[in-house]
């Protein structure tokens, strides 16, 4: 245990350890509804004329590896986890062979770069099959969610933030919801989905009681 903590808390593994903690905190906040799962997601259109050079660095990289359609938060989470694993074992079995502090730091810098280079293609191979799942879910949401009842999963719903859970007969579908009027909506409240905004991939909602009185 002591050896594990020593490697995980020392350079270069500590870099990915911090990133892994941040990722874990993000998903904890997402689960309790304080942040949107697609907080870092990129919006870009894919057509026959699109290539990676016409997009931003991250969007171009996702397109190059066929990850467009997979939430960026999922990509980053898997990438950080794999990079941490590679860096941990690289530090334990490779850097330990290097003599001197300077060589260890230089080797650590090289190891960080190598872990990212190796981890990204593996991340892409792991997540690429999920692309159609995310696309199919989005297509279904666009057609069917408007008009349905939704349970608020965030602590508040504003014109810029909110999450809700729609019953799909299974585990439920988590969607981003917005309400432009003043309200006291909080986690557990029921709302009605009234519209879908394709530009922001969000759904307008209103308290269910107000919707029923229309």
pLDDT of residue 18: 97
Same domain, 107 and 187: no
Decide which of 64 and 134 is more confident: 64
Q: Looking at the domain assignment, is residue 52 inside a domain?
A: yes
Same domain, 52 and 123: yes
Q: Looking at the domain assignment, is residue 36 inside a domain?
A: yes
pLDDT of residue 161: 92
Q: Which of 132, 153, 170 is the last residue of a domain?
A: 132
User: What are 89-93's contacts with CB under 8 Å, separation 24+?
Assistant: 90/114, 90/115, 91/7, 91/10, 91/12, 91/13, 92/3, 92/7
Q: Looking at the domain assignment, is residue 139 inside a domain?
A: no
pTM listed for this prediction? 0.66
pLDDT of residue 96: 86
What percent of the chain has pLDDT above 70? 79
Q: Cα separation of 138 and 115, whole Å?
A: 32
Tell me whether residue 70 is exposed, middle or buried, using C-beta atoms within 10 angstroms of its C-beta: 0 to 12, 13 to 18, 19 or more: buried
Q: Which of 111, 132, 153 is the last residue of a domain?
A: 132
Question: Cβ atoms within 10 A of the Cβ of 110, count?
Answer: 14
Domain count, the chain: 2
Burial letters 114-149, b for 16+ CB under 10 A, else e:
bbbeebbeebbeebeeeeeeeeeeeeebeeebeebe
Q: Looking at the domain assignment, is residue 137 inside a domain?
A: no
Over 80: is that where the pLDDT of 183 sits? yes
Same domain, 18 and 64: yes
Q: Identify which of 15-29, 66-80, 138-152, 172-186 has the greatest average pLDDT.
A: 15-29
Q: Cα separation of 128 and 184, whole Å?
A: 40
Same domain, 184 and 158: yes
Q: Kindly report, residue by residue over 107-124, the tens digit of the pLDDT.
A: 999 999 999 999 999 999
Q: Which of 132, 157, 183 is the last residue of a domain?
A: 132
Of 72-76, 128-132, 200-204, the range with the lowest mean pLDDT is 128-132
Tokens 């995310």 sit on residue: 134
Q: Looking at the domain assignment, is residue 11 inside a domain?
A: yes
Q: Cα separation of 107 and 101, whole Å?
A: 10
Tokens 């229309």 sit on residue: 214
Same domain, 34 and 115: yes
Q: Looking at the domain assignment, is residue 56 inside a domain?
A: yes
Q: Looking at the domain assignment, is residue 84 inside a domain?
A: yes
CATH number of the domain to which 196 belongs:
2.40.50.140
Same domain, 58 and 24: yes
- Residue-number span of the structural domain to which 158 is assigned: 145-212
Whether 191 contacts 157, CB under 8 Å: yes
């Amino acid at each position: 245990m002591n050896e594990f903590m020593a490697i995980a808390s020392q350079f270069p593994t500590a870099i990915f350890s911090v990133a892994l903690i941040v990722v874990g905190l993000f998903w904890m906040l997402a689960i309790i509804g304080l942040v949107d799962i697609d907080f870092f997601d990129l919006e870009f259109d894919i057509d026959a004329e699109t290539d990676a050079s016409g997009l931003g660095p991250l969007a171009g990289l996702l397109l190059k590896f066929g990850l467009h359609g997979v939430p960026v938060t999922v990509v980053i989470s898997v990438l950080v986890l794999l990079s941490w694993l590679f860096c941990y074992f690289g530090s334990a079995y490779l850097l330990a062979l290097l003599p001197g502090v300077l060589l260890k730091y230089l080797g650590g810098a090289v190891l960080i770069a190598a872990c990212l280079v190796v981890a990204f293609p593996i991340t892409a191979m792991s997540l690429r099959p999920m692309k159609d799942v995310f696309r199919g879910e989005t297509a279904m949401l666009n057609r069917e969610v408007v008009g349905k009842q939704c349970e608020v999963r965030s602590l508040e719903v504003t014109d810029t933030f909110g999450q809700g859970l729609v019953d799909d007969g299974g585990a439920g579908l988590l969607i981003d919801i917005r309400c432009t009027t003043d309200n006291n909506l909080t986690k557990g409240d029921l709302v009605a989905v009234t519209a879908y905004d394709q530009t922001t991939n969000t759904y307008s909602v209103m308290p269910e009681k107000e919707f029923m009185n229309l």
